[in-house]
Amino acid sequence: MLLPPNDLLEYYGGAASDVYFRRAHDTLAGEKLDPVVTMEYFGDRAGRLCGMNQVLQVLRLALGGDGEAWALGEGDAMSSKEVVMRVRARYSLFGELETAILGILASCSGWATRAAEVVAAAAGTRVISFGARHVHPLVGPIMEYSAVVGGCNGCATPLGAQLAGLAGPSGTMPHAMILIFGDTVKAGVAFDKHMGPDVLRIVLVDTFKDEAEEALRVAEAMQDRLRGVRLDTPFERGRVTVELVKEVRARLDLAGFPKVGIFVSGGMTVERVRAFVEAKAPVDSFGVGMEIAAAPPIGFTADIKEVDGQPRTKRGRIPGVTETPRLQKVI
């Protein structure tokens, strides 16, 4: 997983942690109090659990073999308030990591959950995460990894693909390159000339001319080497519509290019993806960005449930270990 540039535990337990955990640590140390506690972690709504692998990586370093943990698996479905992880160890070993653990689970699960919703709406059509441009670059690859955990078939950044265990990132050409060439066909032909065989020949066709016209020009120039065309019509021009996709498909078929696929991107939401699918629009792949990147986090909470084996917790919670048959021992 992606690690901070400095010491992992120092970063997660210090610089990136709520300061009151360090103050609690210092106070307890001064009083020589360091009980074995049992802490449980749960989310405030149902969704797709993500970030657990990174959390366990951090916990193994922190506990150093002096503790136990049980957890659900990466990508598992979780219900509201379901305990997704339980840790039993001396509080000093992991107490200061609470901010980091909750934050990892909150963000990653939020992204994975929204990605799963998009994938469900796509009903079998491929979905690629294009959301890295909507978040900080230190966060983008983790977001892309989470999108793949949620079911996306690919993502745009090399590090996101690496974290997700994919063969490589997905993506072809930006509008900027086509604008510099001044012609879509010239850009497509040059792209084909210089890219390796592992790169799909998918050409943007909304930069200069009518999308159907550009699709035919590119197909005629590249013939069998063209894998697909991407429609990314901006909102100023009405965005990509079901009718546009159907027209481009029909014109490509009539011109003898039935194998050229259609890739759709630009402001794709769960609702828009579902509308394309329900209308039987001939889309081969959806590129989805902001819808996943801007997904709200799932709020996670950590509660001490036992102190030195004695049931103890805050008001509003039930003291003692929660019965959680789905948890598997991981540490």
Angle at 304 between CA 300 and CA 307, to 5 degrees: 170
Q: What is the mean pLDDT of the chain?
A: 96
CA dist., res. 9 & res. 275, Å (int): 46
| Overall CATH class of domain 8-109+296-329 | alpha beta
Tell the residue number behind the tokens 């036992």, with chain if given: 306
Q: How confident is the model at residue 226 (pLDDT cuts 50, 70, 90)?
A: very high
DSSP alpha helix (H) spans, 34-163:
52-63, 91-94, 98-122, 140-149, 158-163
Query: Does the structure show a pLDDT above 90 at 243?
Result: yes
SS3 of residue 13 by DSSP: helix
pLDDT at 4: 53
Query: Does the structure show a pLDDT above 60 at 63?
Result: yes
CA dihedral 190, 192, 193, 198 (to 10 degrees): 140
Query: Does the structure show a pLDDT above 80 at 283?
Result: yes
Instruction: Bin 217: left if φ > 0, else alpha if -120 < ψ < 50, else beta.
Output: alpha
Q: Model pTM greater than 0.75?
A: yes
> What tens digit of pLDDT does each residue of 81-139 get?
999 999 999 999 999 999 999 999 999 999 999 999 999 999 999 999 999 999 999 99
Query: Does the structure show a pLDDT above 60 at 5?
Result: no
Domain boundaries, the chain: 8-109+296-329, 113-293
Identity of the residue numbered 241? T
Q: How confident is the model at residue 10 (pLDDT cuts 50, 70, 90)?
A: confident
Q: In the numeric block, which tokens belong to residue 331?
A: 């540490």
Whether 113-293 and 8-109+296-329 are alike in CATH topology: the answer is no
Domain 113-293, CATH number (from 3.10.20.30, 3.10.290.10, 3.30.565.10, 3.20.20.70) = 3.20.20.70
Residues comprising the chain, all counted: 331
Q: How confident is the model at residue 245 (pLDDT cuts 50, 70, 90)?
A: very high
pLDDT at 6: 56
